[in-house]
Structure 1
Amino acid sequence: MTTTEARTPRTTPPAGTTDRTTTADRVRRRISARVRILLWLLFVMAVAFASVAMTTRSFLLRDVDHRINGLLAQETGEFANFEERGFDPETGRSFTDPDRLLRVFLERQYADPDEELIGLVARGSGGPAKLTQPRELPVALPLYEDDDARRRIFESPDASGVLHRPEGEIRWAKVAVARHGGAPEAAFVVAFHPEREVARVDEVFRVLLAISGVALLLTTGIGWAVAGRILQPVRLVRTAAAQLTEQDLTRRIAVRGHDDIAALAETFNAMLDRLERAFAVQRQFVDDAGHELRTPITIVRGHLELMGDDPAEREETVRLVTDELDRMSRIVEDLLLLAKAERPDFVRPEPVQLAELTADVYVKARTLGERDWRLTETADREAELDPQRITQAMVQLAQNAVQHTTPGQTIRIGSRAEGSRIELYVADSGPGVRPQDRELVFERFRRGTSRRGARGSGAGLGLSIVKAIAEGHGGRVRLHDTEGGGATFVLTLEEAPH
């Protein structure tokens, strides 16, 4: 018995499903320009506000340091001056006792709320005795109650410093009292507790941060609204682009204002205009090409289906079929040439003598038909152009003139130059072109009604090729009436200045 293993069929997603899913996921993960602008704005504003707050705090702390240093210097300076020039009010003489000096000086001073004025006198190994003003201080642990801190300051060889304590730091300065005879060593100490000053600075810093936070919130709201208003045309561009199809290119964006966004909307609308014209031309081109190619195909098929066994009939059928196939081949070659006209290497300019080029065109055109060919004038100068393409365009104009004239009628060929402008022309004496057809004849698969006849059996691509060659040289092709009757086609080229 044979056992067949059951397999779960794998379902292959439809073509393009994976790409659409990936694109949809990418769109969902994409952050909108509005959000990105707002995030960058908030980032910049937050950095700016933080920098302002930190800089302000730094300036305020520096001012506190300067004020404290100035106060310490002022108090120590006053004591040094009193020690040098002061007199004991009881004796009227200079102080000889450091203890008496400190007491008298302290009795005459008034300390700031965060300041302590202390006199220290050495009393043996028990640490210096203190002389203080009887007052309460708004600090966690005053210096006059901290024996260890007083001893460290008294024993320090420095005249000023900072004492770091768990209860808060102390900025201090001291003046050592000179020893007189057997008197003990003493010192005058000024201590400042900067906690409240620093707290005020921190309070200002917190207020600045709070103001910055409110400003950021306001900036968020205003930035969101402004960014939405500014980017509204961009959203309209995106929406319009998403809704565009080959069948509907009529959507346009309303332009408001005169800024870069309005310019973007105008540029997008202009692009849509070009796309709409291009698609319209493409559709018309495909329709006309299909019509022009359908006719020879129908003729070929019809003759092949009706072809009998008679050798003469078969020979005639082969001749007709070959002629139609040749015509189809010419149409395809012309279409390929017009498609190549969009490429940058369609025209390859080189230095050319206009007189020699015009004479060559005249010689080649004379073989197109029995006409009264005339070389009327030539431009005796050198120009930068593609001789093969110009020859192709001029021969095509000459062929067009032959198709619309009869044997013996005059066809004139010539060239002239004036400044940077170069003109090459072919003028015939045929029936001419009606004014309403003068632009029409340069379109693909179109022919002027007044010049259409039995001899005009082309597909209507010749003048389109002439126009493409002229535009490839940065010029244009013009059509006007010939004096005395007929049509004159002029290739006008502007030569770049050297």
Structure 2
Amino acid sequence: MRSLSTKLVLAFLLTSLAGAVLAAIFVRQFVNAQFDAFVVTQQRDFFIGRVIDYYAANGSLKEINSWMRDRTAHRPPDDQHTNGIPPRDDPLTISFGLADPAGRVIIPTAGYKAGDTLPPAALAAGTPISSSGGQIIGVALTPAAAAIRDPAQERYLASTDAALAIAAAATAGIALALGVLVARLITRPLHELTAAARQIASGDLGHQVVVRSRDELGDLATQFNHMSADLAHANQLRRQMTADIAHDLRTPLTVISGYLESLRDQVLKPTPERFSVLYDETQILQRLVDDLHTLSLADAGELPIQRRPTEPSQILAHVTETYGHAAEQAGVSLVMRESGPLPEANVDYERISRSLGNLVSNALRYTPAGGQICLSADERDGNLLLSVADTGSGIAAEHLPNIFERFYRADAARQQETGGSGLGLAIVRSIIEAHGGAVRVESTIGKGTTFTVSLPL
């Protein structure tokens, strides 16, 4: 299998050779045609000059046929044949014909004998011959045959052909050199990308390549670097998620295992309080499994959405009532605010309520006693905006781009009681995006955080 470099070099070489050969053929045909036309014109002028000289010396064109044959045959003229005409050195290699002004052939040419009368078209195609006094004395007839070249003319055309061949060879050499150069410029980044792909396949997911240009290959290298960075980030998140799942499973399982072991060994007595602890831990495990199942459905695009016309105030009232007791116990004011009558939204009531509930639950963890959590609804640009704003501790700017990632916690503590499972915000985003909407967050340290859900109406 030929390499891409070889194919590029061959493509350059063959294209250049084809162009050079075609150009050489065209130039050769053009030069030969022009040269032959020049020879014909030159010899016709010489023939006409002989006719004029003969007429000037003899006053007529009688006997010019035999005289011209003697001159063409290069016979040394004697006193009988010179007729006082100065000799010309240029030999005629073309048999031109001659007719008088009336069209009667004097010197025969192809297709016409002496004494024949030319048709008007043939006479009009000839070249008129004028005497020194301006009188038309005859018409020169050029044969249709190509010019007969002498050895010197043939050598000239041969040298032209040689020059064209040298030019074609030089073009091929230049094309070969340029092909090699361009092939290297094109294939070098491709070789680097191939090597980088092998590095990624071997496990070095963050491997980067050098961007050497701003063309399509440069764009390819840039996108490759973005892809490798995303792969490395995704792999890091996968490892972190695995560790987080193991941690979130280990804590309740440890509690359950410890209690069951103590109950089995009769170290502890089975009391309703201890069974309640076991039940709470199993509920934690159940919520974690349910959350993971919801996210897996969202990833596969199979999260069921049961849409029905729903009033925004109904969603806010349900969430406020559900979390009102928890807010009261935490000493936080949970209020609901609407900006007037709003149109119904075609949404999944249960899932949107759960999304807002996750946001309220998250706000309760970070809002101190005496703080406030406000649920509001508004309409803007054909979208329903549902907001959850708190006066809690806020989220640092460096954490904002990642808070919707799974198992991501802005706080450094890993205690489940304060940090949650780390799946709540990821579930919120999945549910909202399944509705064709979006969720965004704004936060200021020490002032609070606002989550805004946008749903198309």
Q: Tell me which interval the TM-score lies in, with the shorter structure as reference length.
A: 0.5 to 0.7
Instruction: Give unpaired runs (5+ residues) of structure 2.
Output: 71-80, 98-106, 119-125, 127-139
Aligned twin of 2:406? 444
1:360 pairs with 2:315:
yes
Q: Does 320-329 or 272-281 show the bigger shift? A: 320-329
Aligned twin of 2:377? 415
1:65 pairs with 2:36:
yes
1:478 pairs with one of 437, 442, 449: 442
3-state SS, counterpart of residue 444 of structure 1 = coil
1:292 pairs with one of 240, 248, 251: 248
3-state SS, counterpart of residue 252 of structure 1 = coil
3-state SS, counterpart of residue 318 of structure 2 = helix
3-state SS, counterpart of residue 283 of structure 1 = helix
CA distance in 2, matches of 1:158, 1:290: 117
Higher relative contact order (CA 8 A, sep 6+): 2
Q: CA deviation at 1:339?
A: 3.9
Aligned twin of 1:110? 88
Distance 1:67 1:381, change over 3 A: farther
1:95 pairs with 2:57:
no
**Paired AA for residue 473 in structure 1:** G
Distance 1:79 1:399, change over 3 A: same
Once the two structures are superposed, residues 279-320 of structure 1 have per-residue CA deviations (whole angstroms, 9 ceiling, x without a partner) of 11111112212222233444555555565499x849988876
- 8 Å Cα contact 1:87-1:95 kept in structure 2: no
Q: CA deviation at 1:362?
A: 2.0
CA distance in 1, matches of 2:191, 2:95: 72
Once the two structures are superposed, residues 131-189 of structure 1 have per-residue CA deviations (whole angstroms, 9 ceiling, x without a partner) of 9xxxxxxxxxxxxxxxxxx9998979999xxxxxxxxxxxxx9xxxxxxxxxxxxx999
3-state SS, counterpart of residue 445 of structure 1 = coil
CA distance in 2, matches of 1:433, 1:96: 123
Q: Percent identity?
A: 23
**How many residues end up aligned between the 2 structures?**
404
Q: CA deviation at 1:366?
A: 0.6
Q: CA deviation at 1:241?
A: 1.6
CA distance in 1, matches of 2:235, 2:261: 37
Q: How do 1:94-493 and structure 2 match up within 5 A?
A: 95=62, 99=66, 104=81, 108=86, 110=88, 112=90, 115=93, 193-194=148-149, 196=151, 197-198=153-154, 200-245=156-201, 247-301=203-257, 308=264, 313=270, 323-342=280-299, 356-370=311-325, 371=328, 373-378=334-339, 380-382=341-343, 386-388=347-349, 389-401=351-363, 411-417=373-379, 423-427=385-389, 432-433=393-394, 435=396, 439=400, 442-447=404-409, 449=411, 458-469=420-431, 473-480=437-444, 487-491=448-452, 493=454
CA distance in 2, matches of 1:340, 1:275: 22
Distance 1:381 1:47, change over 3 A: farther
CA distance in 2, matches of 1:306, 1:209: 101
Once the two structures are superposed, residues 332-357 of structure 1 have per-residue CA deviations (whole angstroms, 9 ceiling, x without a partner) of 3322333444466769898977xx22
**Paired AA for residue 12 in structure 2:** L
**Paired AA for residue 40 in structure 2:** N
**Paired AA for residue 451 in structure 2:** V
Distance 1:87 1:109, change over 3 A: closer
1:35 pairs with 2:14:
no
3-state SS, counterpart of residue 377 of structure 2 = strand
Once the two structures are superposed, residues 1-24 of structure 1 have per-residue CA deviations (whole angstroms, 9 ceiling, x without a partner) of xxxxxxxxxxxxxxxxxxxxxxxx
- 8 Å Cα contact 2:396-2:443 kept in structure 1: no
- Root-mean-square deviation (CA, aligned residues, Å) is 5.1
- 8 Å Cα contact 2:248-2:416 kept in structure 1: no
CA distance in 2, matches of 1:333, 1:326: 10
CA distance in 1, matches of 2:265, 2:393: 47
Q: CA deviation at 1:59?
A: 0.9
Q: TM-score, normalised by structure 2?
A: 0.67
CA distance in 1, matches of 2:188, 2:23: 33
Aligned twin of 1:142? none
Instruction: Give unpaired runs (5+ residues) of structure 1.
Output: 1-28, 120-130, 132-149, 160-172, 174-186
